[in-house]
């Protein structure tokens, strides 16, 4: 079990993608590049999203919370991406109904318990539409990092800096 690392290299602003697989591919490649996950993470997260959709239509800003098995993770983190244009993700628990997602919270957890706790925290903040709108309007990676770290209580991130 590792400490969750949350820093600027896992934040992507205005990501451009044609569809959800491209979003997952780009976010996964970024995590591989920074050694948070193994190469196997990318096909695993795409496959899991196809089997168990993670799109959530929230008040104002739709989100997705893709995640996959811990075996693909080197270092626990959460990657956040705002999308330049909304991308359709199938709604969680639905067969084919989609929602236009604007923010993706990609979880890379190295143990199931920590994933569940983080998912519960995310579900709480998704009910606060003003927070999601603020994230979407973030003008810098640093701004988004601090907003998300504060709201999700992620006060330990790379370099040991405390928020």
User: What pLDDT, on the 0 to 100 scale, is given for residue 162?
Assistant: 36
Tell me, what's the pLDDT at 159?
A: 40
Domain of 56, in residue numbers: 8-157
Below-70 pLDDT ranges, the chain: 1-2, 114, 155-163
Is 88 a domain residue? Answer: yes
- What pLDDT is recorded for position 156? 52
pLDDT score, position 163: 32
Lookup result for tokens 């196997």: 40
Q: Strand ranges (DSSP E) for 91-153?
A: 98-108
The domain spanning residue 82 has which CATH number? 3.40.930.10
CA-closest candidate to residue 11, choices 144, 102, 126: 144
List the one residue out of 94, 95, 97, 124 whose CA is nearest residue 105.
Answer: 124
pLDDT attached to residue 62: 95
Alpha helices (H) along 34-106? 41-51
pLDDT of residue 34: 97
For the chain, how many structural domains are there in total?
A: 1
- The reply to whether 33 falls in a domain is yes
- Any domain includes 43: yes
What does the pLDDT read at residue 63?
96
Question: In this structure, is the dihedral angle defined by the CA atoms of residues 66, 71, 73 and 76, taken in order, positive or negative?
Answer: positive
The answer to whether 15 and 83 are in contact (CB under 8 A) is yes
């Amino acid at each position: 079990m590792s400490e969750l690392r949350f820093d600027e290299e896992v934040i992507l602003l205005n990501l451009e993608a044609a569809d959800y697989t491209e979003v997952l591919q780009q976010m996964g490649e970024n995590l591989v590049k920074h050694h948070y996950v193994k190469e196997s993470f990318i096909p695993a997260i795409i496959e899991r999203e196809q089997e168990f959709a993670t799109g959530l239509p929230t008040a104002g800003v739709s989100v997705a919370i893709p995640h996959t098995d811990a075996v693909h993770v080197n270092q626990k983190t959460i990657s956040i991406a705002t999308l330049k244009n909304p991308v359709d993700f199938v709604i969680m628990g639905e067969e084919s109904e989609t929602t236009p997602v604007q923010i993706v919270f990609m979880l890379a957890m190295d143990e199931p318990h920590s994933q569940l706790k983080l998912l519960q925290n995310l579900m709480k903040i998704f009910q606060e539409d003003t927070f999601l709108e603020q994230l979407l309007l973030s003008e810098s990676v640093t701004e988004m990092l601090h907003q998300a770290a504060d709201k999700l209580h992620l006060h330990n991130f790379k370099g040991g800096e405390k928020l």
